[in-house]
Amino acid sequence: MMGTIWINAGLGLLAFVITLATALSSNVLLVALERAGVAFIVFFLAAFPIRWVFAIVAKTQASASSSANAGEPGPEASVAPSLTGREDGPSEEDEGTFAPLQFSRVEKVHPAEDPTTVAEVVRRLTDE
């Protein structure tokens, strides 16, 4: 959830003050305090689901914006070119020509995730 318990307390305190100010104009002090206390409790407890909904909305907006920016270089991309001694990046001499990125090492696939191994396991299971 977003925020802390102080957000709930602040919302409850705001409801308490507004309710007390409006109830004092037409009620006795004890009744006004009772109604303001009830307003504090109601708004304090109502802030929990409100914060929960805001957290869900913020999370979905963040994931939507991150998926929209997937094609754009992130902060990691700005760090990588500044490293010296890298052979897979373009050199300073051929800035005007296009050269595809070449990886110096090959990624290894775990045997359990290898497509040929998975296909063999599925074939064995379907034959039995």
pLDDT of residue 37: 96
pLDDT of residue 118: 84
Closest CA to 50 of 16, 19, 12: 12
Pair 31, 47: CB distance under 8 Å: no
List of the chain residues with pLDDT < 70: 1-3, 66-95, 103-109, 111-112, 128
pTM here is: 0.46
pLDDT of residue 70: 59
